Structure 1
Amino acid sequence: MQRIDAHQHYWQIARGDYFWMGPHVAPIMRDVFPADLAPHLQAAGIARTVVVQAAATVAETEFMLDLADKDDSIAAVVGWIDLEADDVEATLRRLAARPKFRGIRPMLQDIDDTFDILKPKQLAALKLLPKLGLRFDALAQPRHLPVVAALADHMPDLPIVVDHAAKPFIAKGILEPWASDMAALAKRPSVVCKFSGLVTEAGPNWSVAGLKPYADHLVACFGPDRLMFGSDWPVCELAATYENWLAAAKELLAGLSPAEQDAVFGGTAARFYGIG
């Protein structure tokens, strides 16, 4: 089974559109390129990755696609578009012509209006995705889970993946209503979930024991065939090294059979993102 890291980032800060960066993320404020991640992937036995947008610009999406053209370890790119732009269809079609473009990720967590993605103009744009063979990455917080469920009901043919398990409040030890809302969302067969970002939400004092209730709930809700491992590198370095998080993920999923672990660490991502 080909091992896949289903969620990581590359960026070049001088490009100037990473507006979320600041002193609060000082440890990761450096340029990151495939050569920087390569030693971690080699040590982990991971062959391919999915590179995900980190800036709300089409220019950054094209930057990632250009990297993907030159580096075979990049299996897929998830980018960003302005869903309210008048030229949204033309932009989507242009990007979809690039061989490794697989989907979009609006930065829902940065939008004050929790229900923004359900507005008519956004929905009209999202209806284009299945027609173009594209997916939707939901950068969601717990407040968005009922909204993502409503979106899945409205567009059952739209493949949706919830990034970072919707960022539960692990550092505070809060399970509800995240747990109930995640269980409800998992009833929608078009929705899968990334087993990623948990250490960041737990903070620098994280432990496997502290992550376990959240990890166990994800496995119970989605099962291994609808979960995919992601490192969220280099963002994970705010709390853990690549190797630390990978080791924790393996420990948290040790109760799965070898075939089920293969699904989480590669098979689910390959199927969802169309990675050969």
Structure 2
Amino acid sequence: MLVASRRAFLAGAGAGLLMAAAGPRSEPDRLLIDTHLEVWDLDPKFPFGHPERPDLRPEVAAPIENQVAQMRDYGLDFAVLVNPRYYSWDNSYIADCLRRHPTRFVAHGLIDPEDPRVADRLRHWVVEHGFQGMRFSPIYHPDSTWLNSEAHYPLWREAERLGAVFNFYILPHQMPMLADMAARFPGVKIVVDHLGKPDLRLRDPWPEFRKMFALEKYPQVWISASEPYELSLTKRYPYRDTIPLFRAVYEEFGGRRLIWGTGYPRPRWELPMEKELEFVDEVLDFYTPEDRERLLGRNALDIWTFPT
């Protein structure tokens, strides 16, 4: 997700950071909320321990200070911090970031979905540390059925009670399990990451991709319509092979059910911030001006409670 495809960053880091620092600010009156921002540091007091790949380590840091600077340079108002998988189920770095910058961020952590006390872990991070939700990644467990197991009913009931938000990094064939939980627990707000992760390597990705469309009938579900480089086969801006996917999700869910997120702060490997915004403002030219306002900020206000 973060390391192998980004080694090229190291060769041009200095120039890239200078360009980012000099980048243009966004429109001054536009609300901008980055709804998916993973940050990490190399400070040993926040040890790494990826749950599936314990030896995996980031090659460079992407600390919270980089995001604060990027928000200033581009006029971003708020961001949703998401604990990267590097830290496994330890959300301490994200909690530290939230504590140090309480007026800029809300936070999502990670908790082990197979922990028998998973509902208790949710309560701990929400009540004790002020987190507003959790991210779950069934994509790493493609054959598992924990997502809609009865063992998870207490977790979802606790999320309803706490007002917690769940975002999911999920494969298309897992969408029916998520739809089952959305029907059972309408009080839990749900965000589907990375446009539902359609697989363009398939000869015909559309039958699997359309499984996500069953979630449209649940008004508490939003789709993260962002990070096209996660999906593209060309890996070249403007990622034209992804545009039909973005259009289809827009036509199915409408402009009120889409949100935007970049994934990480400086250093930016795939897209500098000005290109992130250009992709929404110009490449996806089927959005109306109101759609863009909603996608880039206003819809997030319906999901999270940001600092005032």
Relative to the length of structure 1, the TM-score reads: 0.86
Query: Structure 1: how far apart are the matches of 2:280 and 2:208?
Result: 20
Pairing of 1:18-97 with structure 2 (within 5 A): 18=50, 29-55=59-85, 57-59=88-90, 61-72=91-102, 74-97=104-127
Whether the aligned pair in 1 keeps the contact of 2:51 and 2:88 (CA below 8 Å) is no
SS in structure 1 of the partner of residue 60 of structure 2: coil
Distance 1:165 1:114, change over 3 A: farther
Partner of 1:10: 39
Distance 1:40 1:173, change over 3 A: farther
Alignment CA distance shift 1:257-1:197 (3 Å):
closer
> Structure 2 CA distance, aligned partners of 1:236 and 1:107?
24
CA contact (8 A) 1:7 1:196 kept: no
Cα displacement (A) at 1:51:
0.7
Give the unaligned 5+ runs of structure 2: 1-29
Identity of aligned residues (%): 21
Output the amino acid matched with 1:251.
E
- Residue of structure 2 equivalent to 1:118: 148
User: Secondary structure in 2 aligned to 1:79?
Assistant: strand
Which residue, 244, 250, 256 being the options, matches 1:213?
A: 244
Distance 1:258 1:249, change over 3 A: closer
Residues of 1 paired with 2:189 and 2:144: CA distance? 20
Per the TM alignment, residue 67 of structure 1 is displaced from its structure 2 partner at its CA by 0.7
Q: Deviations over 1:153-184 (max 9, x none)?
A: 22222211101112112466854124421222
For residue 137 of structure 2, what is the aligned residue in structure 1? 107
Equivalent position amino acid for 2:62 in 1? V
Aligned pair 1:228/2:262, yes or no?
no
2:21 maps to none
DSSP 3-state at the match of 2:231: helix
CA distance in 1: counterparts of 2:84 and 2:192, whole angstroms: 16
Moved more, 201-210 or 230-239: 230-239
Task: In structure 1, list runs of 5 or more residues that go unmatched.
Answer: none
Judge which range, 204-213 or 126-135, deviates more.
204-213
Following the alignment from structure 2 to structure 1, what is the Cα–Cα distance between the partners of residues 296 and 125? 27
Give the alignment of 1:172-183 within 5 angstroms: 174-183=204-213
Aligned residue number for residue 196 of structure 2: 166
User: Is the 2:114–2:146 contact (alpha carbons within 8 Å) kept by the matching residues of 1?
Assistant: no
CA–CA distance in structure 2, aligned partners of residues 173 and 71 of structure 1: 46
Is the contact made by 1:200 and 1:238 (CA closer than 8 Å) also made in structure 2?
Answer: no
Runs of 4 or more above 4 Å deviation: 19-23, 171-174, 234-238
Change over 3 Å in CA distance of 1:93–1:170 after alignment to 2: same
Three-state SS of the structure 2 residue aligned to 1:101 is coil
Offset at residue 123 of structure 1 (A): 2.5
1:8 alignment partner AA: L
CA distance, structure 2, for counterparts of residue 67 and residue 241 of structure 1: 23
Distance change in 2, residues 1:191/1:65 (3 Å): same
Instruction: Kindly state the Cα deviation for residue 132 of structure 1 after the two structures are TM-superposed.
Output: 0.7
Whether the 8 Å contact between 2:109 and 2:135 is mirrored in structure 1 is yes
CA distance in 2, matches of 1:250, 1:20: 37
Amino acid in the other structure paired with 1:94: H
The CA deviation at 1:131 is: 0.3
Change (3 A) 1:94 1:49: same
More helix by share: 1
> Aligned partners of 1:40 and 1:161: how far apart in 2?
24
Larger Rg: 2
Matching residue's letter, 1:181 = K
Q: How many equivalent residue pairs?
A: 273
SS at match of 1:251: helix
